């Protein structure tokens, strides 16, 4: 059965009926139950297949599909926000074998672009799904006035290339930044509830934007940090001002000074040369008295627990450099004889699963590969020599050589040592709902057994804490820090020769201040790294 409804028509609840909100297994479906207790064998309507958002070229065949369940069998109806669904331009079909309902729009027009709702109702409740139809104009079209006279409503026109950018900008301005903070710290199973609270129905757009924000938090910048922004200025002579922590700072459009600005078409590239700890802070761009965006520059607080060591290798052998960091980093910079080293035929650059151990392999070493190699993490670096030894007697190549090896008398010795901390725990302060990472370095032979404690209670078997021990680097990660995580933390290392411990205190602060986001593309080069986060346009 099908009914044609106007956009704002609502079915009133009968006297004495209740409205109980229920959760569907299908994201984006809202279920309302009219009775407190369902009779045996009866159920409220639900969607096993919901209609999905559609963007289609004008003149094509557009349709929405839905499959519903419920006992008694629900009645399916369709509505649109602006205008009516008439039988001349819309067709309703139902396949009794598959149970699929369709709303078809042959030869779809631009004025049919709208937000549609599909209702499934029976006497025990209703289920509703909201879906959007976007129609792309092509070729020469009739005037807007003619189309409005046809439907009596204002039509929506979408242009290829402008629709997507405009739609994203509007969503950025409408959605509270707290929405993204909740998603960034929430489990994937909670995404549906959070989106329902904030009225977000485009899950594909939400997931894409969420991934962009995660990448922005993890972005690492090199010695010369660049920030690329694309925008159109109504007035090409508009005045721009750059502020750091509320104080105006000079920048130059041509010279390579500390703060630079380059413009290529619609792209504006702001750069900070020679990044150092004093450059950390809040940066804001103001155009004609209006603050366009805000971004926070953070310098990664990372150090080397184990630095790279000098390596000797013979020709045609591989040489391996390896270092261990004090905190996880997805990528560090490698330099070979003052030149950047990247993954390729000559070099292998790898990182461990916990992102603490970073390795550079120089493959098939030649004499010209010898020199100083460096690892750069944030503002810290370490260097070591690669020594390549050639064949001392090339005339003997291809001939048999006789070697004599004289071994000294073996002496008994012991390499066993008691546990000790080469790097102890540090004091930590963390805002609520953020991650907290603790680490220390332990040495000893036999390998010490390490146990973490909070307020004298063991944490090794607590699944709320992610604990690892790699090459003596003991680390613990607390996800979604809350007030309950405040307290004293202790690491105990022990083996057959002794026992040692070190402690620290975690102080959980209030929620961290938030800044609204703007889609920014970052370019990086050079050798040192910094971190931009919370990048956003201001109201």
Secondary-structure class of domain 43-136 per CATH: mainly beta
Counting residues of the chain whose pLDDT is more than 70, the rounded percentage is 73
Residue 155: both structure tokens together: 């039509």
The topology (CATH level 3) of 229-297 is Immunoglobulin-like (2.60.40)
- Cα–Cα distance, 462 to 466 (Å, whole number): 8
Q: Strand, helix or coil at 112?
A: helix
| Burial bucket for residue 97 (CB in 10 Å: 0-12, 13-18, 19+) | exposed
Asked if residues 484 and 414 have their Cβ atoms less than 8 Å apart, the reply is no
Helix axes 191-198, 203-218, angle to 10 degrees: 110
**Residue 357 neighbours by CB under 8 Å, 6+ apart:** 322, 323, 324, 325, 351, 470, 471
Confidence of residue 232 (pLDDT cuts 50, 70, 90): confident
* The domain made up of 304-389 is a member of CATH 2.60.40.10: yes
The pLDDT of residue 520 is 36
Closest Cα partner for 30 from 115, 117, 106?
117
Q: Strand, helix or coil at 395?
A: helix
- Chain centroid to CA 171: 18
Mean pLDDT score across all residues of the chain: 76
Residue 522: pLDDT above 50?
no
Residue 371: pLDDT above 50?
yes
Residue predicted with more confidence, 199 or 313? 313
Residue predicted with more confidence, 442 or 472? 442
Q: Which CATH superfamily is domain 417-509 in?
A: Immunoglobulins (2.60.40.10)
How confident is the model over 109-136, as a mean pLDDT? Answer: 90
Asked if residues 365 and 386 have their Cβ atoms less than 8 Å apart, the reply is yes
Residue 283: pLDDT above 60?
yes
pLDDT (tens digit per residue) in 59-115: 888 889 999 999 999 999 999 988 888 888 899 999 988 889 999 999 888 889 999
Q: Give ranges for CATH 2.60.40.10 in the chain.
A: 43-136, 229-297, 304-389, 417-509
Asked if residues 535 and 285 have their Cβ atoms less than 8 Å apart, the reply is no
Residue 19: both structure tokens together: 């409205």
Q: Strand, helix or coil at 87?
A: coil
What are φ and ψ of residue 210, in 5° steps? -65, -40
**Pairing between strand 304-306 and 311-314?**
unpaired
Helix axes 177-185, 203-218, angle to 10 degrees: 80
Rg (CA), the chain: 32
Q: 403-407, 427-431, 463-467, 480-484: lowest mean pLDDT where?
A: 403-407
Confidence of residue 501 (pLDDT cuts 50, 70, 90): very high
pTM for the full model? 0.30
Asked if residues 493 and 423 have their Cβ atoms less than 8 Å apart, the reply is no
Asked if residues 535 and 455 have their Cβ atoms less than 8 Å apart, the reply is no
| DSSP string over 179-208 | HHHHHHHS-GGGHHHHHHHHT---HHHHHH
How confident is the model over 429-433, as a mean pLDDT? Answer: 81
């Amino acid at each position: 059965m099908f009914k044609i409804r106007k956009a704002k028509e609502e079915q009133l609840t009968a006297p004495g009926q209740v409205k109980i909100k229920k959760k569907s297994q299908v994201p984006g479906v809202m279920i309302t139950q009219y009775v407190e207790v369902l009779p045996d064998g009866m159920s409220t309507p639900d969607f096993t297949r919901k209609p999905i958002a559609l963007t289609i070229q004008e003149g094509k065949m557009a349709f929405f599909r839905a499959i519903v369940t419920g006992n008694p069998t629900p009645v399916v109806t369709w509505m649109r926000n602006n205008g009516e669904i008439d039988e001349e331009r819309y067709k309703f079909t139902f396949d009794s074998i598959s149970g699929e309902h369709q709303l078809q729009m042959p030869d779809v027009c631009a004025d049919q672009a709208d937000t549609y709702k599909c209702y499934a109702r029976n006497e025990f409740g209703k289920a509703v799904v909201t879906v959007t139809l976007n129609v792309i104009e092509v070729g020469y079209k009739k005037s807007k006035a003619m189309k409005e006279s046809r439907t009596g409503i204002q039509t929506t026109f979408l242009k290829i290339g402008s629709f997507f950018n405009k739609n994203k900008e509007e969503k950025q301005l409408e959605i509270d930044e707290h929405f993204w903070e909740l998603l960034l710290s929430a489990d994937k199973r909670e995404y549906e509830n959070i989106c329902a609270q904030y009225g977000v129905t485009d899950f594909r757009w939400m997931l894409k934007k969420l991934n962009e924000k995660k990448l922005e938090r993890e972005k690492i910048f090199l010695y010369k940090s660049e920030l690329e922004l694309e925008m159109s200025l109504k007035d090409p002579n508009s005045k721009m001002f750059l502020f750091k922590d509320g104080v105006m700072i000079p920048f130059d459009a041509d010279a390579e000074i500390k703060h630079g600005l380059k413009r290529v078409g619609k792209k504006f590239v702001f750069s900070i040369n020679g990044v150092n700890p004093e450059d950390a802070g809040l940066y804001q761009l103001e155009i004609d008295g209006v603050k366009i965006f805000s971004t926070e520059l953070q310098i990664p607080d990372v150090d080397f627990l184990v630095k790279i060591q000098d390596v000797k290798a013979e020709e045609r052998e591989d040489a391996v450099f390896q270092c261990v960091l004090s905190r996880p980093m997805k990528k560090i910079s490698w330099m070979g004889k003052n030149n950047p080293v990247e993954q390729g035929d000559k070099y292998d650059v790898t990182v461990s699963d916990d992102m603490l151990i970073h390795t550079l392999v120089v493959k098939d070493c030649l004499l010209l590969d010898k020199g100083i190699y460096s690892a750069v993490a944030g503002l810290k670096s370490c260097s070591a020599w690669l020594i390549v030894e050639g064949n001392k007697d090339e005339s003997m190549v291809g001939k048999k050589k006789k070697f004599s090896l004289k071994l000294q008398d073996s002496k008994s010795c012991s390499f066993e040592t008691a546990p000790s901390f080469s790097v102890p725990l540090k004091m930590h302060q963390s805002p609520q709902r953020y991650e907290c990472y603790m680490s220390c370095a332990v040495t000893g032979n036999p390998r010490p057994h390490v146990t973490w404690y909070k307020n004298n209670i063991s944490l090794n078997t607590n699944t709320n804490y992610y604990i690892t021990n790699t090459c003596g680097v003991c680390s613990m990660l607390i996800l979604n820090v809350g007030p309950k995580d405040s307290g004293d933390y202790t690491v105990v290392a022990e083996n057959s020769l002794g026992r040692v411990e070190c402690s620290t205190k975690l102080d959980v602060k209030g929620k961290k201040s938030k800044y609204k986001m703007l889609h920014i593309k970052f370019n990086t080069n050079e050798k040192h790294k910094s971190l931009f986060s919370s990048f956003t346009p201001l109201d």
